[in-house]
Amino acid sequence: MRGYLILFFLFLFDINISFSQNTVSIGLKSSYNSSNINFYNNFFPQNIKTNSLDNYNFSFVTEIKNSKNTGIRIEISKIMKGWVQDYIIGNSFKSEFTYLNIPLMMTTYFGTNKTKINFSLGPYAEIQIDNNSQNLRKDYPDLSFYFDESRDNKFGYGLVANAGLSFDLNKSSFQVLVSYQYNFDNLIDLEQKSSIIPDISNFNTLSISFVYLFNFLKKNEL
């Protein structure tokens, strides 16, 4: 991970040096997200089955791209993560966590025509701004564990990867992307091992997105 971060910042330095050759774009991204959580207990094996939590969200996007069709991409979004879990037969509950999520990615484009293949990769950080844990405690008082705001993590980080198609228009572009986010940190932060509460709890999120980018500053204008 440390080596990846060094390469990433060297890449940003190279982009900054050639800023006079860049195109700056701003835009919006609309996404359909399917998130889930990986529960596992290393010392007390458990079988905790969860299903995906599906939702939509919007993001603000800024991209700086040089003449070689590589650059950096920054996104700011309000995203919901969580899972659906069976309670009793015919009844289930949703654990929902809303985050302010900010990825910073390296991005590159392949192709010489107006239709290009796009790949992006980079780290992200997020901070939790809301959750429904208090409601779950009231509605399902006999659950084996809950998210505890005084104990567990409200800050998260991980890696995100995008892949898709980009269609160049006159002064803008339209993109169709598939994205995957994986949290390196655990949602539940245990101080002591427990046979009831899992010691691994990583979010993973799969998204399908539509992006519109407007070329705010073009190469010959910088």
Contact 63, 73 (CB under 8 A): yes
Q: Tell me the pTM.
A: 0.85
Q: Could you tell me the pLDDT band of residue 219, with boundaries at 50, 70 and 90? A: low
Task: State which amino acid sits at residue 2.
Answer: R
The confidence score (pLDDT) of residue 17 equals 44
Q: Tokens for 194?
A: 């427990």
CA 64, CA 53: separation in Å to the nearest integer?
33
Domains of the chain, first to last: 2-221 (2.40.160.20)
Residue that has been written with the tokens 């091992």 in this structure:
193
20-68 pLDDT, tens digit per residue, is: 567 889 999 999 999 999 998 887 777 788 999 999 999 999 999 887 7
Q: Decide if pLDDT at 10 tops 60.
A: no
DSSP code at position 192: S
Which of 153, 103, 108 has the alpha carbon at shortest distance from 123?
103
The confidence score (pLDDT) of residue 221 equals 47
